[in-house]
Structure 1
Amino acid sequence: MNANPRALAMLLSGLIPAILLTAEAAPPPGRLLASQCAQCHGTNGRSVGDIDSLSGESAREIYEEMLEMKYSTNTNDIMHRQARGYSDAQIRLIADYYGSLNSGGGSGGGDDGEHDDD
């Protein structure tokens, strides 16, 4: 079977913009996971109540604090219960998402980008 080069070119020219639009529309990694955090820590990590804001913290700080809470022996702490529901990789995505908001969109949230746990 011989493919018509003109038809193939037309097909590809229609697919490329669709692929690019799909890639642009994809939410940042960790955003969906981080949406749970907004219930207490506020939109974009800016709390309006008594609960600490995540805004202004680096991805590394958030990641390390969440791991401390996840593996804490204080099982009565709400953050222990929240954090233990995520894998370490998911916690990394959440931390990187909030860190990227704090640093203006760059990955790693203002830290050096090196992660000792990987």
Structure 2
Amino acid sequence: MRRAFFYFLSLYILGCGFQAPWNSQWIEGEDGILYVQKIDKPETREPYTGNMIKEYGGREDGLVKEEYNYQYGKMDGVQILWYDDGLRVEKTYENGKILSTDKIKGKPIKVVEPF
């Protein structure tokens, strides 16, 4: 019984440390860095690292419009833009600075939700 109590207490404590994504917001700083912070808690503000995908708004087909990769709040890696006509533009960034741009014909991709 005592072991079960500590097991559930540990799960509860660990669970309290994780925040749901809905309570965060994106902030673009004056320095050009993208930050993420908990809503109403400016002390939690930190540079964002990870991927960001934007879909075409108001469409039900779930087509991707833009895909970005951020490292410490700055674009880093390949940014991909898809246009309605199938044009795909790839821009390569390093530490927030653009290195190259390529235009490619193709089909826009659809967002697939993990199950």
TM, length-normalised to structure 2: 0.30
Higher helix share: 1
TM-score of the pair, normalised by structure 1: 0.29
The structure, 1 or 2, with the larger RCO (C-alpha pairs under 8 Å, 6+ apart) is 1
Give the strand-richer structure, 1 or 2.
2
